[in-house]
Amino acid sequence: MACSYTAGEDIDWNVHSLATSSKNHRVEDCHQHHKAYGYFLPIHTWWQDSDKYGHVNNVVYYSYFDTIINHYLIRYCGLKTGLLTSPLVGFMVTSQCTFYTPISFPQIPVVALAVEKVGQSRVHYQLALFPPKPTKELPSVDHHDLSDGFFFGHPKLAQFDALACTTRSSVHVFVNPATSKPTALPEDFRDGLLRLMNPASV
């Protein structure tokens, strides 16, 4: 999909990836913007998340992304988390992050989730982390935001940077917990996932 362009903003994080141009300028694509996502969940950073450079450690980003995936599946798709009570369990078979700029404690970023493809037993996700806008005040989030999240178009999105600091792609394969063999997704479960395939219509 031809949706990328080059911005004139210098990268201030010493990270090299496919998203870094030869002139050390950020290359933005459609996955770095709010409109690519349907569901958002604010995340508290913790002191223990930081590495010796004062940034949230790279591995912690994966826990943020795992949190929003499972939060949405439990809250909006009816996923049961107990092996004895759930008819299906998700195995993460592919996961890759691209890092653009860092976040640090005590920032409150928002994690974003979109579904790119739903197969018989396989789900392809696209995720991003958006930092708060650079103001003296932390984003105004309450218990409702943390427990339910919010969808694209919510006014609280205005408190967060429109450009993601990190993006991730992941693939879940859902299996029967008794056999560990792929199993078909229940209809209501599938419907919850399909809700995030076209964020603008949510």
- Summarised one tens digit per residue, pLDDT across range 22-36 is 333 344 478 888 989
Task: Give the type of residue at 82.
Answer: G
Give the number of other CB atoms < 10 A from CB of residue 194: 11
Q: What pLDDT score was predicted for residue 178?
A: 84
Report the pLDDT value the prediction gives residue 187, as an integer from 0 to 100.
Answer: 93
CA nearest 194: which of 72, 88, 90? 72
Q: What is the pLDDT of residue 41?
A: 96
CA nearest 182: which of 94, 96, 123, 124? 123
Give pLDDT, residue 135: 74
Q: Name residues of the chain where pLDDT drops below 70.
A: 1-28, 83-85, 136-139, 142-143, 147, 198-202
Q: CA quadruple 132, 133, 135, 137: dihedral positive or negative?
A: negative
Please confirm whether the linkage preceding 134 is cis (ω < 30° from 0).
no
